[in-house]
Amino acid sequence: MDALCWNHPSISLKGSEISENHGFFRPKSSSHLHFRAAMNSSNPESKPSPLKIQNRMFILGMGFVGQFFAQELKYSGWSVSGTCRNLGQKMELEGRGFDVYVFDANDPEQGTLKAMKYHTHLLISIPPDVDVGDPLLQHEKLLRTTLQGGDLRWLCYLSSTSVYGDYGGAWVNEDNPTNPSSQSGKLRIEAEERWLNLGNDLGLSTQVLRLGGIYGPGRSAIDTIITQRSLSERQHRRARRQYTSRVHVQDICQALKACIQRPSSRRVYNIVDDDPAPREEVFSYARDLVEKKWPRKLSTLSKQVEASVITNGSGRGDKRVCNVRMKRELGVSLVYPSYKSGLQSIIDQMGDEEPF
């Protein structure tokens, strides 16, 4: 039977909306120096006194979502560390006040693993690798041994709604069977279960967030049109879907905050907006916004970019992902419930200067 996302597209939860007045984002009185001193101690097993522990987030994979969330936490008084792929990224992120480690999936340094141990929260935002699966879980035994007895109390794995596979345009929720058609989707399912098991074994609050198509400032249909980029093969595949569920990066951060405020064990949440829509519809709306803001500035090339989206559409049914559990259990009230409000916000933030 098809999943039903009832009360869709709008669910009023004003009485249970998340408040940031719960002490979650209030900076603790302890200093970040206690943590750094412990990590630099000659005794590798030394750690901060429990009375001096502040909220410390370690983000495995400081990409688009990781950086956005890290900055929000930093503004709220958290200490944030994480991993990146190369030295250039490390220098850029350290310049913004984060402790960053270059992560090699084939040979993870002990220093990186021990750093994770002495953080209070762990976010995994690294996609599976076709050859090894989850990059860190290929060292699961070492990871378990290292993290035991540390300060971690919360773990969250960022997954993808691709795990559901094709439902012919029907609504799906977290109770629907997963049936991914892609290898990456199959690896996501495996990683979800293994991270849930690891967190459970370590006695942590452990959750999985299945994210829809991620967009935000610098990464949206508006940016693609303005920069006149041609579409990637992955974008072409998404274009052939009847529906695509999306989520603005700010709402992902909202959901992450809510998960920390409302810890649970082995809970899975779909993190999407209320308005799954065809990709050509989104691009058409983005083009209208750009043309309204900067009349007669779009080139023939950018029109070809949009045309490639439309002409590659096959009308193949996919799925519409339901977010009722996110709203009911986490109390998330979306800042951008539709791609329309999300894209409008992005173009408003660009100012009046022509970006062409």
The per-residue pLDDT for range 56-102, each reduced to its tens digit, is 999 999 999 999 999 999 999 999 999 999 999 999 999 988 999 99
**Cα→Cα distances 242→189, 245, 311, 313, 319, Å:** 23, 10, 13, 8, 8
What is the pLDDT, as a whole number, of residue 37?
Answer: 36
Q: How high is the pLDDT of residue 21?
A: 37
CA atoms of 77 and 61, how far apart (whole Å): 21
Question: What beta strand segments (E) does 169-264 contain?
Answer: 171-172, 205-211, 213-215, 246-248
**Confidence band of 165 (pLDDT split at 50, 70, 90):** very high
pTM over 0.85: no
Alpha-carbon gap, residue 199 to 145, rounded angstroms: 13
| Angle at 80 (CA atoms; ends 44, 202), nearest 5 degrees | 60
In whole angstroms, give the CA distance from residue 258 to residue 268.
13
Residue 109: predicted pLDDT: 81
State residue 27's pLDDT score: 36
Mean pLDDT taken over the chain = 81
pLDDT value, residue 25: 44
**Residue of 211, 293, 294 whose CA lies nearest to 259:** 211
Q: Cα separation of 320 and 172, whole Å?
A: 6
CA within 13 Å, CB half, 129: 10
Mean pLDDT (whole number) for 157-180: 95
Q: Is the pLDDT of residue 270 over 90?
A: yes
pLDDT in tens, 115-155: 999 999 999 999 999 888 999 999 999 999 999 999 999 99
The two structure tokens encoding residue 104: 């090699």
Structure tokens at 217: 């400032």
pLDDT, tens digit, 9 for 90 and up, residues 174-206: 999 999 988 999 999 999 999 999 999 999 999
Distances (CA, A) of 280 to 19, 167, 236: 36, 20, 11
